[in-house]
Amino acid sequence: MLTTEQIIAAHKANVETLFGLTNKAFEGVEKLVELNLQVAKTALSEVAESTHAALSVKDAQELLALQSALLQPSAEKAASYSRHLYDIASSTNAEVAKVAEAQLADIQAKFSAVVENAAKNAPAGTENAVALVKSAVAAANNAFETVQKAAKQATEVAEANFEAATNSAVKATQTATRASKRAAA
C-alpha cells in the first residue's frame, strides 16, 4: 500500500522530470535559433559580396566562373546546416530518451519489487502461479530491452546513412563545379 508521503514524492519527482524535459526542449530551441541567426548573418554578408562581384563582371566567361564559384560553397553550407540541424535534434532526442529510460528502469524496478513482495506473501500452493508471473515479468523485461537495443541500432544506422548521403551530395556538387569550371575555361 502506498503512503501519502510516497504519493507526494512520486508526484514531486514527476514534476521535476517534466521541468527537466521542458528545459532540455528549450535548450534545443535556443540552439536552433542561434544556428538560424548565424546562418542568416552569414548569408546576408555573402549576398552583399556576391552582388558586388556580379556587378563587377566584365564578360560572360567571368560570369560563368563566378556562378560556378558560388555554387560549390552553397551546397557545402546547405549540407553543413543540415548536419547542424540533425545534431541539435539528435542531442535533444538523446536527452529525452535518457530521461525516459531512467523512468522506465525505475518503474520496472518498482514493479519487480511488488511482484517479489506478492510472491513472498502468496498463500501455500500458489508457487506455480507465482513462478509463472515472475517468468512473464522477466520475459517482458527482456523483450523491452531487445526492442530498446534494436531502436538504438536503427538510430545508429540512420545517422550513418544521413552522413553518407550528405557527404555524397557535397562530393557530387564539388565534381559538378570542377567540371563547370573546366568547361568555362
Number of domains in the chain: 1
What CA–CA distance (Å, rounded) separates 123 from 121? 6
**Residue 48 sits in which domain range?**
4-184
Judge if pTM exceeds 0.75.
no
Q: For residue range 86-144, what is the model confidence (pLDDT) as tens digits? A: 889 888 888 888 888 888 788 778 777 777 777 777 787 777 877 887 788 788 778 87
What CA–CA distance (Å, rounded) separates 74 from 67? 11
Backbone angles phi, psi at 86, to 5 degrees: -65, -40
**In 83-120, which positions are buried (b, 16+ CB within 10 angstroms) versus exposed (e)?**
ebeeebeeebeebeeeeeeeeeeeeeeeeeeebeeeee
What CA–CA distance (Å, rounded) separates 63 from 61? 5
Q: Which residue, among 9, 155, 34, has the nearest Cα to 85 in the 3D structure?
A: 34
Contact between 171 and 178 under an 8 Å Cβ cutoff? The reply is no
